[in-house]
Structure 1
């Protein structure tokens, strides 16, 4: 059977329907699944076919709203909620213990959550909160779940880990490796921290693919510009207006050089990264508009030495050696 050609306008539902056979029987964990976000839409379309979809969030009430909405949107879907605060290494460890205790295997892990900007803030671990949520929490969570993911593999299936990055990784010089362990407000800007976090997503995916040597397939992606919760946050407004993404009143700029996608179009590339069979021998790659786009990776996010150093620093910060 020939597979369709996906593009900017492809929806997550179309991708899920195309790869329904790959999704059936799979157990998928998606971080950051609040309503009005692409993580929720990703969970919704996958839940149509999956054996189990695990949704996460750090806010109990918001997570409950997502679970109720998913069960209403997809009657009969098997949804399980998991409290996960990626900004806290202790909370990540607790959540990983819970997942490792599940009787079901884990086939796909999707890192969709992001902190979403704001003033300089340190976590309980002394880390800058955007980088903690995008890199150190996911790094530890992936490390602690790696054995469970690998155990789900077979001769016909390789587990996948997906990182929702952004074209924002192109902005600036990339991850400031010297400032990760001891961040300071003098070097902080909301946009700069966000861009570094998204660069880290790309670097982590490529290094995970390299080190796991096929045991885990890893991908990063740009989902597009979508009017999600993060875009609507007041503290992000000035930067987005200056880039022409939003109008002065905070509404989407329809004349922007960053064309807006619908929620369904915004979640599509994530579902491609998780299930498209054409990616099986492309681990470590970057996707954009539902297709491979390694040529669009910024040089600082494609640098192998930077990826290795970020991995080593991450191991030191979470105090865990990541082996396969």
Structure 2
């Protein structure tokens, strides 16, 4: 099979077209699929070829709008909506129970949803909101859906299901995951961008460790999608933090000194991580611009450091078991 060369300007549609054969017949669950976001674009292009695309989000009205937009683009698309609030462990458990009851196999799980930057906020479970939404919720959802993914691995000869964590280049910031603030959130130590970096580091470590523990039965990948002006950048509580680091200008518009991607370009790496057959040779990899980019990982975001930030330590403490 001849696969085109991908780059920063490759679009999600181009990647999905290149891997149409790999997507054909697959069932995919994608979180964070509101309009004007990369999760929506990921769902839209995959739905053109897949057997089933499950779009998940916490707002039923927004899910309906996304469903209608995808159906308008691809009338034959087979979609299913799933109410899922990743900041609530009860909601995650309820959604996982629903998905596990679906008769279809689950081939790909894409963790795309993320909380907006902003002031310190605790969830109903007493967790810091960004870490809860960006990592702990996806972590629990993966654990609860692992048996379904493993059943897919057993049921499809030669097929290895995939789990994709949409991380960020911000995984390179800070010094890793602070377990004390993870277990006991402290508003005095909180910074919005610091919490974001910790959650994105945890995403990378999750992909590495899940791949190891699955022993060839599930392949997980983390990605940096690029800098994209999506709906999350337009939230009132997010803008001051982005202005503080210069990504957004005083006028609230993107700073052109940064290399921005369009939403179709931003979703491309997710689609590549989910379906590029060449990645079978590098399970657990971190991707950027649709290709493996482990060289861009900070030491605390890889396996090459000592506890307490070693991923094996992290996931022993967080109890992910595949059996």
TM-score (norm 2): 0.95
The question of whether the paired residues in 2 share the 8 Å contact of 1:116 and 1:194 is answered with no
The answer to whether the aligner puts 1:92 opposite 2:96 as a matched pair is no
The corresponding residue for 1:105 is 105
In the TM superposition, residue 245 of structure 1 has moved relative to its aligned partner by 1.7
The corresponding residue for 2:192 is 190
Q: Which residues in structure 2 correspond to 1:3-22 (within 5 Å)? A: 3-22=3-22
Q: Which residues in structure 2 correspond to 1:1-324 (within 5 Å)? A: 1-153=1-153, 154-254=156-256, 256=257, 258-303=258-303, 305=307, 306-315=310-319, 322-324=321-323
2: CA distance, partners of 1:79 / 1:3: 28
What's the secondary structure of 1:280's corresponding residue? helix
2: CA distance, partners of 1:23 / 1:303: 31
The question of whether the paired residues in 2 share the 8 Å contact of 1:136 and 1:314 is answered with no
What's the secondary structure of 1:81's corresponding residue? strand
2: CA distance, partners of 1:35 / 1:90: 25
What's the secondary structure of 1:82's corresponding residue? strand
The question of whether the paired residues in 2 share the 8 Å contact of 1:139 and 1:314 is answered with no
Cα displacement string for residues 9-51 of structure 1 (whole angstroms, at most 9, x for unaligned residues): 0000000000000000000000000111000000000000000
Q: What is the number of residues matched between the two proteins? A: 317
2: CA distance, partners of 1:126 / 1:40: 29
What's the secondary structure of 2:238's corresponding residue? helix
Unmatched segments (≥5 aa) in structure 1: 316-320
Cα displacement string for residues 185-230 of structure 1 (whole angstroms, at most 9, x for unaligned residues): 0111111111111111101111111111111000000000000011
2: CA distance, partners of 1:239 / 1:135: 20
Cα displacement string for residues 38-78 of structure 1 (whole angstroms, at most 9, x for unaligned residues): 00000000000000000000111111111111111211100
The question of whether the paired residues in 1 share the 8 Å contact of 2:117 and 2:241 is answered with no
1: CA distance, partners of 2:255 / 2:86: 32
What's the secondary structure of 1:272's corresponding residue? helix
What's the secondary structure of 2:188's corresponding residue? helix
1: CA distance, partners of 2:193 / 2:2: 42
What's the secondary structure of 1:303's corresponding residue? coil
What's the secondary structure of 2:183's corresponding residue? coil
The question of whether the paired residues in 1 share the 8 Å contact of 2:221 and 2:273 is answered with yes
1: CA distance, partners of 2:133 / 2:239: 21
